[in-house]
Amino acid sequence: MMPIAMLRVINLPVRLTSAQVLFWSSLFIALVCNYPFIHAVFLATSPNSLSEWLFFLSVPALLLNITILLLSMAGAFLSPRFTAAITIVISVLLLYATVSYGVVFDRSMFQNIAETHPAEAASYLNLSLFTFIIFVGFLPAVMLFRSSRREKAKIRAKKLLRLNLFAVIGIALIAGFLFKDYAAVGRNHKELTRYLVPYAFYNAAYKYVRDSYLRPPMSFRILDKSPGIAANKKGQPKTVVVVVGETARADKFGINGYYKNTTPHLSSIGAISFDQVTSCGTATAVSVPCMFSRLSRENYDSRLADSQDNVLDIIRRAGATVSWIDNNSSCKGVCKRIDTIAYDPSRDSSLCDGDYCYDEVLLPLLEKKLAEQTGSQRVIVLHMIGSHGPTYYRRYPQSFRKFLPDCPRSDIQNCTEEQLQNTYDNTIAYTDHVLSRIIQSLQNVPNASMLYISDHGESLGEAGMYLHGFPYAFAPEAQTHVPMIYWDSNLSDPNFQNCVSAQSRQPLSQDNLYDTLLGLTHVRSSTYQPEMDVLKSCRT
């Protein structure tokens, strides 16, 4: 009710023309909403000389003039004041994401937003967000909206044309005198454009909509029509449980040397950690399809990956039983041609709250799958909710509040560093518990193995960055260095164990998953690249 009450008292004596509303709105967007962009330009250029300062000071001026032109064009279809008000609110929302979490917007980030489950989206709602939006965005927009005065169409058009003329002249002068400087900075710091509010967001939205809905669908490509399963010398079909983690950082695993004992069970149960693994992307929407795709990180394209076989399709076509069990929002298209148990946030009242389930909910579903007698190779994929933020505290039960004080809130930027680190570390400790339970279930299954790999990492306030989804080119290592854990019933063989341990120290990536899974399941395929199979030398 407070915003409505405040609106009733906003009745400014000053009445602005449409041109003035457009100018002040553009100035607000250029200087306030684009503060992160201007700050990034300052850090990139580090002006010292007079010419360098002239270039830097010209940046907000250029942005102001461009914003005037763009708002004018949009206002030609709607009303200028309505366009300005909507743009301010959107820009302030984007500003909050950048200031609070360090988020920048490109196509992959927009894809991550567009494909976010409603429960995940709701986890970002908090008092800090509402307060910021109301006072920095909503009230300024309403003040400008209510302060505008009615004008005759001819007079309004004349004043708007004059304002746009000045904007064009301003752009021409800046371009004429400083074009070389802009070209050099743009060439050397291409990432700066991703901070432009709201234009980077609009550009990302256009690219996502274009690629997802406007382009004609690609014909589906079968990469291998007749894969097969090699004879198994051990006589027992292979059971492989692939656990896809969520938002887990490799450096937070005690088994990798972290000073907190976050993985006591994995350390004692005989699992082997591959501690130099990098992800394909920095968001689930990219990493999960990419890691199961034949495409490498360098040439990954979501449309292409979605229109051809992934490794699970190849394994299923070879004759193996393949299943996907989800405790995350979705499989991002990877499981649409295999047996799937979809995400259900209410499947178990003791482990679910209607929005999320703790990852232990996967265990009885796994046990049921393991009890099925298939007589063939089988792959069971478990997709965890893992350490998904910002509500890390909802990823583990009260009994797993091992590291205290923690941070039981979603506006994590307002927690102390100790609280945030402890909360995240508790999610890793709970993941350790769930993985150890999975391994215990497999200890009773002949010729079984478990391979855990997280989709991407997470920033926890380092350099002002939070969460994930940053462009890969300048994403921090915290978002790209992921844990990979391997357990196998054959690790009781000292020779096999020593070989796997040696391989675990090699630099690897999610690109290795495709061929490693084919090797683990003894699938013969024309798509197999033996040099990418992490465990090939150990099996032979």
CATH number at residue 423: 3.40.720.10
d(CA 322, CA 340): 9
Domain end call among 161, 184, 213: 213
Residues 271 and 316 in one domain: yes
Question: Residue 283 to residues 164, 215, 290, 389: CA-CA distances in angstroms?
Answer: 40, 23, 11, 12
Evaluate whether 423 touches 406 at the Cβ level (below 8 Å): yes
- In a domain, residue 380? The reply is yes
End-to-end CA distance of the chain: 70
DSSP string covering 29-96: IIIIITHHHHHHHHHHH---SHHHHHHHHHHHHHHHHHHHHHHHHHHHHS-HHHHHHHHHHHHHHHHH
Question: ω before 390 within 30° of 0 (cis)?
Answer: yes
HSE-up of residue 6 (Cα within 13 Å, Cβ side): 11
Mapping DSSP to helix (H, G, I), strand (E, B) and coil, where does residue 492 land?
Answer: helix
Strand partners, 508: 277
373 in a structural domain: yes
- 3-class DSSP assignment, residue 363: helix
Same domain, 447 and 385: yes
Instruction: Tell me: do 85 and 181 sit in the same domain.
Output: yes
User: In sequence order, what are the beta bridge partners of 240?
Assistant: 379, 449
Residue at 222 is within a domain: no
Considering Cα of 279, then 282, then 288, then 289, what sign does the dihedral take? negative
241 close to 380: Cβ distance less than 8 angstroms:
yes
- Domain presence at residue 151: yes
Rounded CA gap, 90 and 76, in Å? 19
Q: Is residue 221 a part of any domain in this protein?
A: no
Are 252 and 357 part of one and the same domain? yes
Say yes or no: 292 and 350 in one domain: yes
- Find how far residue 49's CA is from the centre of its chain: 40
| 91 neighbors 198 (Cβ within 8 angstroms) | yes
- CB pairs under 8 A, 24+ apart, for 348-354? 353/394
Give the separation between CA 471 and CA 108, rounded to whole angstroms: 8
**Residue 141 sits in the same domain as residue 254:** no
The burial class, CB within 10 Å (0-12 / 13-18 / 19+), for 156 is middle
**205 and 251 both lie in a single domain:** no
The verdict on 255 and 174 lying in the same domain is no
323 within 8 A of 314, measured Cβ to Cβ: no
Question: Residue 223: inside a domain, yes or no?
Answer: no
Residue 67 lies inside a defined structural domain of this protein: yes
Instruction: Kindly state whether residues 433 and 322 are assigned to the same domain.
Output: yes
Domain check: are 407 and 313 in the same one? yes
Q: For the whole model, what pTM was predicted?
A: 0.87
How many Å apart are CA 113 and CA 468, to the nearest integer? 12
Q: Both 193 and 251 in a single domain?
A: no
Domain span at residue 61 reads 2-213
Please check whether residue 241 is in contact with residue 366, taking contact to mean a CB–CB distance below 8 angstroms.
yes
User: Which of 213, 245, 270 is a domain's end point?
Assistant: 213
Cβ atoms of residues 303 and 289 within 8 Å: no
- In the chain, the amino acid numbered 86 is I
Question: Can you spell out the DSSP letters for 398-450?
Answer: GGG--SSS---SS-GGGS-HHHHHHHHHHHHHHHHHHHHHHHHHHTTSTTEEE
Residue 447's contacts (CB-CB under 8 Å, 6 or more residues apart) are 232, 234, 236, 237, 238, 239, 489, 490
3-state SS class at 334: coil
Q: Are 270 and 285 in contact (CB under 8 A)?
A: no
Domains in the chain, number? 2
- Choose the final residue of a domain: 182, 213, 244: 213
> What are the residue ranges in the chain where pLDDT is below 50?
1-10
pLDDT, residue 77, reads 67
* Distances in whole angstroms, Cα of residue 21 to Cα of each of 95, 158, 171, 259, 412: 21, 15, 20, 56, 36
CA-only gyration radius of the chain, Å: 27
Find the angle CA(535)-CA(325)-CA(478) to the nearest 5 degrees: 60
Q: Which amino acid is at 88?
A: I
Residue carrying structure tokens 């164990």: 497
Domain membership flag for residue 93: yes
Asked if 47 and 186 sit in the same domain, the reply is yes
